[in-house]
């Protein structure tokens, strides 16, 4: 992302120098909490702009979208993301007397297994099928002869436009209800929505990106909505056309994360071409 920002700044400097009377305005939105709780970054800026009735027309997010060559992939949308933490409460006791206890681990496993096997939807022309991944399970006292009282599990949905947030919640609760209806144990689910799915269909921004990439790298770019989320999820609902275009993502979130210097130069040229395609017509 830092590399993309540098390329954007260089591209803008070049563009404004060559075309001081261009049509439009260019702004940068730089935030440090995109990977965190997203409280004081893009959301606050969007709230301020909306209060002013000031709209963003086109937005390029510098996420590392490329795979094998700069510009081979442009993200023109993202799946939604919603996480859940389920707390299951049973009854603690000695393993030798299972008739006197309610083992939350035994109770949770069938429900979580069924949850992991559901086909939530089949996706569509723009989005892959909705997927669920269980990311954390915690239980136990540390002793081999004690059945614990509680189990906590965390899972996340990445969902397409074929399924809504409410449908995911309803189906999940229905599964847990079916497994806990006849037990004396209880469960509670806490939900956190990180973002709704969004899509920028082929149009002026997408074409501007495709044409600029082709001119600089001779690559025919592929449109994709795969991967994680980005702050584009806060900008797209305002009506803006949003894409993600950046360097290759082979080493993201890894030790020795790196970017090829030549890629940054190409990316700056691509960004400059996009500005020309959008603001000189």
Report pLDDT digits (tens) over 89-108.
999 999 999 999 999 999 99
With beta carbons less than 8 A apart as the criterion, state whether 239 and 55 touch.
Answer: yes
- What is the helix (H) or strand (E) element at residue 106, kind and residue range? helix 104-117
248 DSSP assignment: B
Token pair for 229: 């989320």
Rg over CA atoms, the chain: 24
Give the range among 61-70, 141-150, 245-254 with minimum mean pLDDT: 245-254
Whether the per-residue pLDDT at 271 is higher than 70: the answer is yes
Query: Would you call 147 exposed, middle or buried from its count of C-beta atoms within 10 A (0-12, 13-18, 19+)?
Result: buried
Which residues are within 8 A (CB) of 119 and not within 5 positions of it... i.e. 6 or more apart? 129
Lookup result for tokens 């970017």: 259
Q: Is the pLDDT of residue 38 over 80?
A: no
pLDDT at 227: 81
Q: Among 159, 187, 160, 163, which Cα is nearest to 175's? A: 187
Report helix, strand or coil for 58: strand
Q: What is the mean pLDDT of the chain?
A: 93
Please name which of 86, 32, 27 lies closest in space to residue 57, comparing C-alpha atoms.
27
pLDDT for 207 equals: 97
- Chain position carrying tokens 């937005």: 59
């Amino acid at each position: 992302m830092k590399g993309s920002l540098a390329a954007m700044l260089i591209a803008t400097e070049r563009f404004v120098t060559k075309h001081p009377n261009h049509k439009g305005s260019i702004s940068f939105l730089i935030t440090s909490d995109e990977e965190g709780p997203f409280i004081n970054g893009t959301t606050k800026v969007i709230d301020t702009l909306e209060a002013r009735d000031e709209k963003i027309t086109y937005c390029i997010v510098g996420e590392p979208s490329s795979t094998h060559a700069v510009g081979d992939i442009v993200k023109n949308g993202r799946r939604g993301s919603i996480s859940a933490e389920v707390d299951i409460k049973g009854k603690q006791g000695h393993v030798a007397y299972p008739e006197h206890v309610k083992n939350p681990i035994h109770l949770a496993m069938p429900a979580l297994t069924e949850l992991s096997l559901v086909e939530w939807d089949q996706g569509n022309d723009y989005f892959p099928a909705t997927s669920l991944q269980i990311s954390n399970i915690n239980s136990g006292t540390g002793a081999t002869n004690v059945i614990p009282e509680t189990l906590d599990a965390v899972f996340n949905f990445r969902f397409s436009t074929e399924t809504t947030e409410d449908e995911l919640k309803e189906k999940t609760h229905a599964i847990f209800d079916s497994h806990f209806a006849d037990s004396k144990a209880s469960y509670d689910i806490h939900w956190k929505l990180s973002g709704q799915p969004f899509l920028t269909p082929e149009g002026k921004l997408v074409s501007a990106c495709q044409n600029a990439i082709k001119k600089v790298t001779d690559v025919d770019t592929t449109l994709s909505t795969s991967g994680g989320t980005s702050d584009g999820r806060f900008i797209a609902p305002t009506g803006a056309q949003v894409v993600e275009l950046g360097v290759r993502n082979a080493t993201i979130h890894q030790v020795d994360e790196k970017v090829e210097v030549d890629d940054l130069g190409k990316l700056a040229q691509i960004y400059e071409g996009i500005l020309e395609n959008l603001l000189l017509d």
